[in-house]
């Protein structure tokens, strides 16, 4: 029986965090909280948040900390997070990580693991430029490595597949620069707390899932 998991998935855009988060979500019955998904929905729904976030996202820049911190704080207070949560794409800066620590301390629910998924940048560019997402159910495909049965159509729900605006090559490079300067320092922030575990993120989805479970070790039993 898996224990409650309070996990941060760390890794560059395209490292496979979202894919592994979806698998872990089923295993642990704890929700995947993807700030990227929350923001994309806000942009599509044209909410006040979406209008503030869209320009930053299209440029491959980070949305300001105060905007994102409030959203995650509200999401973590929801009932379905009482048995744990899987944070995917948050925190992305040291101030976000500090604020998350403070929020979870108040809730008496500190993180029990931070898993860093490591993939070389050259592979990331290849992965992201071929990535396609289902507009309806969010399922992920890759035009070369994991193509859908029918071009442009989701295998799972028949929805339309699209390429994210920020998955164009120039924006990918910018996102990787932002990752190196603002997010990569989180690895040593969490290593100092004794929370950091690392996995090699190159391989098939199943191979990486096996490594992820091995790295989570005690939490998976
Ligand atoms: P993702 O789907 O995680 O790659 O996120 C897509 C975009 O949403 C990023 O490039 C940022 O513009 C924005 N975003 C997502 N999460 C965060 C965060 N924690 N802090 C700031 N911006 C974020």
For residue 35, how far is its CA from the centre of ligand 1 (angstroms)? 6
**Domains of the chain with CATH codes:** 5-119+183-219 (3.40.50.300)
For residue 1, how far is its CA from the centre of ligand 1 (angstroms)? 33
CA distance 68 to 144: 33
CA distance 87 to 72: 9
Please give the full DSSP string across 135-152, using - where no structure is assigned.
TTT--EEETTTB--SSTT
State if residue 56 touches ligand 1 by the CB under 6 angstroms criterion: yes
Chain segment 77-107, per-residue pLDDT in tens? 999 999 899 999 999 999 999 999 999 999 9
Chain segment 150-196, per-residue pLDDT in tens? 999 999 999 999 998 888 888 999 999 999 999 999 999 999 999 99
In ligand 1, the atom with minimum distance to the C-alpha of 35 is: 16
Enzyme catalytic residues: 17, 92, 131, 164, 175
How many residues does this entry show for the chain? 221
**Token representation of residue 221:** 């039993």
Task: Tell me the whole-structure pTM to 2 decimals.
Answer: 0.90
Nearest CA to ligand 1 atom 14: 36
**Token representation of residue 40:** 């994309």
**Token representation of residue 59:** 């440029």
State if residue 17 touches ligand 1 by the CB under 6 angstroms criterion: no
CA distance 109 to 113: 12
């Amino acid at each position: 029986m898996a224990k409650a998991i309070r996990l941060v998935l760390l890794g560059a855009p395209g490292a496979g965090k979202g894919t592994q988060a979806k698998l872990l979500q089923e295993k642990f019955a704890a929700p995947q909280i993807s700030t990227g998904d929350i923001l994309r929905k806000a942009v599509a729904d044209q909410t006040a948040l979406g209008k503030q976030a869209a320009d930053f996202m299209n440029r491959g820049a980070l949305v300001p900390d105060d905007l994102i911190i409030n959203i995650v704080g509200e999401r973590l207070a929801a009932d379905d997070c009482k048995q744990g949560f899987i944070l995917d794409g948050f925190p992305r800066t040291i101030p976000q990580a500090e604020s998350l620590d403070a929020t979870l301390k108040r809730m008496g629910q500190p993180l029990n693991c931070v898993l860093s998924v490591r993939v070389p940048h050259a592979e990331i560019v290849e992965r992201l430029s071929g990535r396609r997402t289902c507009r309806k159910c969010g399922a992920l495909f890759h035009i070369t490595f994991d193509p859908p049965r029918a071009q442009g159509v989701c295998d799972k729900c028949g929805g339309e597949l699209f390429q994210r605006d920020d998955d164009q090559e120039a924006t990918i490079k910018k996102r990787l620069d932002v990752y190196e300067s603002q997010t990569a320092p989180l690895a040593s922030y969490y290593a100092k707390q004794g929370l950091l575990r690392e996995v090699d993120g190159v391989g098939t989805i199943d191979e990486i899932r096996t490594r992820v479970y091995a790295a989570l070790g005690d939490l998976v039993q």
